[in-house]
Amino acid sequence: MSVPLIVKLGGSLGSQNVLRDWLRALRPMPVVIVPGGGIFADAVRSAQAQWHFDDTLAHRMAIVAMRQYALMLSGIESGLTLAATETLLQELPRHPSARCWLPDPDELQGPSVEASWRVTSDSLAVWLAQRLGAKALLLVKSIHLSERSRSIDCLIDDGVIDPAIPDFLAKSALEIWISGPNDHDHLAEKLTWPNHHFCRVEG
């Protein structure tokens, strides 16, 4: 049994009051939440700029930053359950409420996941969606897109999504939508009719 939806909460939402509203809206839903990196990933970038360690180490540290963000989310919304990939694969179908992914830096290494800043939590959300057999991915951003659809190349050029996403989407039928920061109200209804409320990522 697959999970129907992955929801990636952008790290930039960590500086906005809507983050709590998103968590409250998502918690009773059978979704998997992917954490961004937020201020924790920014700290990795700053440290690398100062100390010039390589991208392989920075990649591992950025994944740890996502874990920190996930822990923060569980502190904001106490009913939110944290789970690693294998736990999600084995147990999610038996749990109808939201779970937040705790990514493992040891799991996200090797030729299938490039160790560079081209790969962010957006791409890793696609990676997880494929592992879990998800049908759709909602990327919650801190910006609002007025269009109902935009090409993936345009979104990459504008810096809305990371440039490695097409690499992870090869031979995938995953549907990807982009939400603005204030779409948490009446979220269940919006997820039923995503074409009317979100921006579809077109290949």
The domain tally of the chain equals: 1
166-198 tens-digit pLDDT: 999 977 789 999 999 999 999 999 999 999 999
pLDDT digits (tens, 9 = 90+) for 1-17: 356 799 999 999 998 89
33: tokens are 């939440």
Helices and strands (H and E) in the chain: how many: 9, 8
How far does the chain reach from its first CA to its final CA, in angstroms?
A: 26
For residue 108, the domain's CATH number is 3.40.1160.10
pLDDT of residue 184: 97
Structural domain of 183? 5-202
CA distance 93 to 20: 25
Determine the distance from the C-alpha atom of residue 135 to the mean position of all C-alpha atoms in its chain, rounded to a whole number: 14
Q: What are the pLDDT tens digits along the chain (203 aa)?
A: 356 799 999 999 998 899 999 999 999 999 999 999 999 999 999 999 999 999 999 999 999 999 999 999 999 999 899 999 988 888 765 667 899 999 999 999 888 899 999 999 999 999 999 999 999 999 999 999 999 999 999 999 999 999 999 999 977 789 999 999 999 999 999 999 999 999 999 98
- What is the predicted pLDDT for the residue at 1? 39
Q: Rounded to two decimals, what is the model's pTM?
A: 0.95
- Could you list the beta-strand ranges (E) of 39-128: 81-83, 99-101
Residue type, 68: Q
Structure tokens at 91: 């147990």
Token representation of residue 100: 């937040």
pLDDT score of 25: 97
* Torsion angle in degrees (nearest 10) through CA of 52, 58, 62, 64: -110
The tokens for 26 are 């998502």
